[in-house]
Amino acid sequence: MVLIDLQNLIKFYGPVKALNGLSLKVPKSSLYGLLGPNGAGKTTALRILCTLLSPDSGKVFISGIDALKDPRSARKRLGYVAQEIALDKILTGRELLKLQGDLYHLQNNERDEQIEKLTSRLNMADWIDRRCGSYSGGMRRRLDLAAGLLHRPELLVLDEPTVGLDIESRSAIWQLLRELKSSGTTILLSSHYLEEVEALADQIAIIDGGRVIAEGAPDDLKKCLGGDRVTLRVREFSDEDEAQIVRKILLNIGGVQQVVINRAQGFSLNLVVDGEEVLPRLREELLEAKFDLFSLSQSRPSLDDVYLQATGRTLMDAELAIASKRDLKLESKQAMR
């Protein structure tokens, strides 16, 4: 059964097209991961799903409810943990959760019982009665997650839930998410941490440019690549011109599926090879073109390779490109002042 059904969502922020016909179906009782760089449209899609933002066009259904026409009914079925944590610094953690429970119209005994359960499951007992202003980032994130779960939602929506957290906090959140999925809660998790999505998600969708460009079970997506990942350098410190020359050579070798210049890693080259005979031929072709191999590594495909295959760039390169555009816009605004 499909719990979430997003259909052809389009959203503009001024001239910027944040969502470009994004469609997505999330099965009930699954942990579904959204993978993509910052700026790909993940947060916009989640805010629309949670009825906090209206799309310019498209449809949103949660458990068959039209969330755009009946947002109140949709909100009763979901809990949302946003990327930005917003806690009252004066209240204690327990006071904040009690306030959250009152906003959901929970009975006092039900509310207090849920607070105790979540305090135990998220290891918050030692500090739940301290003021929120004294909390670390990991404490704040765990309390924020508890607030999203207080009313036992059918659907839990998480936007980058473990960004910047310590290992202990991340481990506690991962364990809770696994338990929630086992108990039947549907979880939609947005992240740009490859290892997080791979460790937790039953299925994933890769988002780039405001649309879904690949989706499926992580292992199935990796198997579709049909070969091994290879990363190579012809020298320790190369440049883009040299990397482009090497790329052209590699593209003419049979069994090489795709070659991408990884600017984030000093213009190394990432490719996927199919067949044991490809690497010896690759070495021969490079030597014939007067290129020595400084380094070469081979491994089984990862989600980053799936992203590379779908977009023609690594996830790290996508992050750097978006950050570069953001910096240029900031410099332009400052120059205009």
Tally Cβ neighbours within 10 Å of residue 324. 10
Residue 282 lies in a domain: yes
* 180 and 240 fall within a common domain: no
* 257 and 204 fall within a common domain: no
Q: Where among 169, 195, 216 does a domain terminate?
A: 216
Residue 296's DSSP bridge partners are 232
Q: Where among 185, 216, 247 does a domain terminate?
A: 216
Q: Where among 170, 198, 216 does a domain terminate?
A: 216
Residue 326 lies in a domain: no
* 87 and 197 fall within a common domain: yes
Residue 327 lies in a domain: no
CATH number of 240's domain: 3.30.70.100
Q: What share of the chain is helix, strand, coil (3-state, %, to 5)?
A: 40, 25, 30
* 86 and 173 fall within a common domain: yes
Domain that holds residue 77: 2-216
For residue 262, give the nearest of 192, 316, 206 by alpha carbon.
316
Residue 92's DSSP bridge partners are 131
What pLDDT shows up at residue 172? Answer: 85
* 130 and 102 fall within a common domain: yes
CB 208 within 8 A of CB 36: yes
Rg of the chain over Cα atoms, rounded to whole angstroms, equals 23
pLDDT per residue, tens digit, the chain (337 aa), is 899 999 999 999 999 999 999 999 999 999 999 988 888 899 999 999 999 999 999 999 999 999 999 999 999 999 999 988 778 899 999 999 999 999 999 999 999 999 999 999 999 999 999 999 999 988 999 999 999 999 999 999 999 888 878 888 888 889 999 999 999 999 999 987 888 888 899 999 999 889 999 999 988 888 887 778 899 999 888 899 999 999 999 999 999 987 888 887 889 998 888 888 899 999 999 999 999 889 999 888 888 778 777 776 767 766 666 666 555 555 555 555 5
Name the token pair of 324: 């570069």
* 141 and 66 fall within a common domain: yes
* 273 and 199 fall within a common domain: no
Distance CA(332)–CA(275), nearest Å, equals 49
* 93 and 211 fall within a common domain: yes
* Count of domains forming the chain: 2
**Region class of 254: left (phi > 0), else alpha (psi between -120 and 50), else beta:** beta
CATH number of 60's domain: 3.40.50.300
* 246 and 192 fall within a common domain: no
Burial 7-23 (b: 16+ CB within 10 A, else e): eebbbeeeeebbbbebe
Tally Cβ neighbours within 10 Å of residue 31. 24
* 227 and 171 fall within a common domain: no
Residue 265 half-sphere exposure toward CB, CA atoms < 13 A: 16
* 166 and 259 fall within a common domain: no
* 257 and 278 fall within a common domain: yes
DSSP 281-309: HHHHHHHHTT---SEEEEE---HHHHHHH
Distance CA(4)–CA(111), nearest Å, equals 27
Residue 337 lies in a domain: no
DSSP 38-94: TTSSHHHHHHHHTTSS--SEEEEEETTEETTT-HHHHHHTEEEE-SS----SSSBHH
